[in-house]
């Protein structure tokens, strides 16, 4: 059963095969959790949303249409739940007037000789600061490595919009990481100061 394709496996899930469902959960839980966690970086909330996603998949197992890829369907359910959670938070934030506080920008490391590995936590922090739709597109494309067509189906926007959002997200990330990059370039390659201003 381990070598079954997603569709064949889900056919067994639709026939109330509990073992097939456990296998299906094992296949998807890490991918989905990683996606959810990139948007809402809280462990407990992430697990709750993940559980709700699988419960919905289980409840709708007999209504699944094989016209869509299984991953698209599952990601769409997860995305809907994530959006719903974000809406609730936005309302709560608005009610508590927290939206008046601005998030702290990325802090540069004090280390004068930064290692290449330090880019990862900075990048993670920069991803968290991306605007909602850009972050979704970036996470699905560059972290989850889904094709553009599938992202377009999940986000329910044209492929061109997905491409432009991803390009914009990358540019924003570059701008956010630019100070660190400048420091890195100056130390490692000795770029002239005038060129580093861009």
Partner 1 sequence: MNCRKVSHRLSAYIEGNLSPGEISGLEEHLKTCIICQRKLADIKLIIHTSGQLERQAPGPHFTNRLLCAINQLNSFSNVFKVWRYRLTFSGIAFVAAAGLTFFFIGPQISSIQTPSTTVKAPVKSIIKADSNRVYDGFPVSGEALKRDLALHEQPKSDSTRQDSIMLPKHYVQPVGIKKNKKDKVVF
Note the residues at the interface with partner 1 (CB under 8 A): 18, 21-22, 25-26, 29-30, 33-34, 37-38, 43, 46-47, 50-51, 54-55, 58-59, 119-120, 123-124, 127, 138, 142-143, 145, 163, 166-167, 170-171, 173-174, 177-178, 181, 185, 195, 198
| Cβ at position 29, least distance to partner 1 in Å | 6
For residue 189 the two structure tokens come to: 């390659």
Nearest to 172 by CA among 125, 117, 114: 125
CB nearer to partner 1: pick between 49 and 154: 49
| Cβ at position 25, least distance to partner 1 in Å | 6
For residue 99 the two structure tokens come to: 């939206």
For residue 18 the two structure tokens come to: 């509990």
Give the three-state DSSP class for 16: coil
CB nearer to partner 1: pick between 63 and 96: 63
Give the three-state DSSP class for 23: helix
Q: What is the dihedral of CA 52, 149, 68, 29, to 10 degrees?
A: -30
Token pair 């660190």 is found at: 180
| Cβ at position 39, least distance to partner 1 in Å | 11
Cα distance between residue 172 and residue 195, in whole Å: 19
| Cβ at position 182, least distance to partner 1 in Å | 10
CB nearer to partner 1: pick between 45 and 93: 45
CB nearer to partner 1: pick between 11 and 170: 170
| Cβ at position 89, least distance to partner 1 in Å | 19
C-alpha angle 92-161-174 in degrees, rounded to nearest 5: 75
| Cβ at position 27, least distance to partner 1 in Å | 11
Q: Where are the alpha helices (DSSP H) in 15-158?
A: 18-39, 43-59, 70-95, 119-128, 132-138, 148-155
CB nearer to partner 1: pick between 95 and 192: 192
CB nearer to partner 1: pick between 135 and 153: 135
Which residues lie closer than 8 Å to 26 by C-beta, 6 or more apart?
Answer: none
């Amino acid at each position: 059963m381990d070598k079954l394709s997603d569709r064949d496996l889900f056919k067994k899930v639709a026939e109330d095969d509990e073992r097939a469902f456990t296998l299906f959960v094992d296949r998807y839980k890490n991918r989905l959790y990683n996606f959810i966690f990139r948007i809402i970086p809280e462990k407990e909330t992430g697990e709750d949303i993940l559980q709700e996603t699988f419960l919905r998949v289980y409840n709708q197992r007999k209504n699944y249409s094989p016209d869509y890829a299984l991953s698209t369907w599952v990601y769409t359910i997860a995305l809907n739940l994530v959006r719903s959670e974000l809406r609730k938070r936005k309302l709560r934030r608005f009610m508590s007037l927290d939206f008046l506080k601005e998030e702290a920008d990325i802090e540069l490391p004090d280390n004068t000789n930064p290692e290449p590995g330090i880019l990862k936590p900075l990048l993670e922090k920069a991803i968290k600061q991306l605007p909602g739709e850009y972050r979704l597109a970036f996470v699905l494309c560059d972290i989850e490595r889904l094709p553009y067509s599938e992202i377009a189906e999940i986000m329910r926007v044209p492929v061109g919009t997905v491409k432009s959002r991803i390009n914009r997200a990358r540019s924003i990330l570059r701008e956010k990481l630019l100070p660190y990059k400048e420091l890195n370039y100056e130390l490692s390659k000795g770029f002239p100061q005038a060129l580093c201003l861009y």
